[in-house]
């Protein structure tokens, strides 16, 4: 039976018109063009928001596992030499004979399972050295920890799509300066933690009704988070390729993402491992080492994501000029369409 196509409800069309293709729909789209353009530019599938997310996801998919594994290995390899270096500097310039004091600051930023594996070994490694032997270990520690810094530099170069521009030895000298800066920041974080602990004890003694609230706030974790954020921000400021190191290109979003990711992983890793995994049955006495490696792997994945986020948010002058030209052309077309309809 053939259906008629009479207008005004006298029949039914064979197929309903597509709203987006009809002249009326196109007229309404032009009239509301400014609003639609604003919506699509902010939240549409081709908006900058989704473009940045897509860039970060693709970068993490391509390089995340490789660099996360490399960072996990280098972190476990470099953390003990770093403790020796930090202990030597702390013992020389701050408190002689207290070379192991900085270990507590780093342990506070680690999950209890990971800290329980690393802290005793780190104390033994630092306590076994004194005098010239401590400084010899510090020299080796600076070089070893510098390799970790160079791994992060490579992550940033790959994120921004650039190649190294300086000789190897210049990068190494810069890495030594970064390690010494990290040691300084670690010592400052130690003093901040001591200050917070002293304040909490004073308030608990004089205002016991506030002690529970202080425990809920977990001020020491906030200090740890701030220390992690500043450390990562310092690394990004120092290691980002020189062409993208200026104030035009933001570094704080990636550093903030890594700091939040670090805290979330440190908070959730123990209950997840306790409920879902039984590393003891698989790795036996090495279970603690494997958990530490897994933690550093997750942190490395967050490091890659932070680097990719900064790279995705970077807009060169050429990109900005092209984007403004395209936006101007689209606005002109919308204005012309509105004028034609108004006539």
Residue 79 resides in a domain: yes
Residue 198 resides in a domain: yes
Residue 125 resides in a domain: yes
Residue 342 resides in a domain: no
What separation in angstroms does the CA of 121 have from each of 57, 73, 284?
A: 37, 17, 18
Residue 141 resides in a domain: yes
Give the total number of structural domains in the chain.
1
Residue 16 resides in a domain: no
Sign of CA dihedral 163, 167, 170, 176: positive
Residue 239 resides in a domain: yes
Residue 315 resides in a domain: no
* Domain containing residue 136: 66-307
> Which residues are within 8 A (CB) of 232 and not within 5 positions of it... i.e. 6 or more apart?
254, 255, 258, 259, 303, 306
**236-280 residue pLDDT tens:** 998 999 889 888 899 999 999 999 998 888 888 888 877 766 777
Mean pLDDT per 10-residue section of the chain, whose length is 343 residues: 45 48 49 51 65 88 88 86 81 66 79 86 81 78 84 91 84 81 68 60 63 57 79 90 89 94 87 74 78 90 94 84 68 56 57
Q: What is the pTM of this model?
A: 0.74
Residues 162-188: b if buried by 16+ CB within 10 A, e if exposed: eeeeeeeeebbebbbebbeebbeebbe
Task: State how far the Cα of 65 lies from the Cα of 67, in Å rounded to an integer.
Answer: 6
């Amino acid at each position: 039976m053939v259906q008629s196509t009479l207008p005004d409800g006298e029949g039914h069309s064979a197929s309903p018109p597509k709203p987006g293709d009809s002249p009326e729909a196109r007229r309404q789209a032009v009239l509301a063009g400014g609003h639609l353009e604003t919506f699509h530019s902010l939240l549409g599938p081709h908006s900058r928001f989704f473009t940045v997310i897509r860039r970060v996801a693709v970068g993490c998919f391509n390089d995340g596992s490789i660099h996360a594994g490399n960072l996990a290995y280098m972190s476990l390899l470099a953390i003990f030499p770093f403790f020796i270096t930090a202990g030597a500097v702390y013992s020389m310039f701050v408190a002689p004979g207290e070379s192991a004091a900085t270990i507590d600051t780093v342990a506070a930023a680690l999950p209890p399972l990971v800290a329980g594996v690393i802290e005793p070994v780190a104390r033994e490694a630092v306590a076994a050295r004194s005098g010239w032997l401590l400084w010899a270990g510090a020299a080796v520690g600076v070089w070893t920890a510098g390799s970790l810094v160079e791994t992060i530099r490579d992550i940033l170069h790959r994120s921004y799509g650039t190649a190294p521009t300086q000789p190897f030895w210049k990068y190494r000298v810069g890495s030594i300066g970064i390690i010494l800066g990290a040691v300084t920041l670690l010592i400052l974080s130690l003093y901040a933690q001591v200050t917070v602990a002293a304040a909490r004890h004073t308030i608990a003694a004089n205002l016991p009704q506030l002690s529970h609230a202080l425990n809920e706030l977990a001020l020491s974790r906030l200090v740890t988070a701030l220390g992690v954020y500043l450390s990562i921000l310092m690394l990004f400021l120092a290691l980002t390729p020189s062409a993208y190191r200026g104030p035009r290109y933001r570094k704080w979003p990636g550093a903030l993402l890594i700091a939040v990711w670090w805290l979330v992983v440190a908070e959730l890793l123990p209950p997840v491992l306790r409920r879902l995994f039984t590393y003891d049955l698989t790795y036996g006495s090495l279970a603690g080492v494997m958990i530490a490696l897994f933690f550093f792997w997750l942190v490395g994945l967050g490091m890659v994501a932070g680097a990719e986020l900064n790279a995705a948010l970077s807009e060169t002058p050429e990109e900005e000029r092209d984007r403004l030209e395209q936006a101007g052309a689209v606005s002109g077309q919308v204005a012309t369409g509105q004028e034609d309809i108004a006539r």
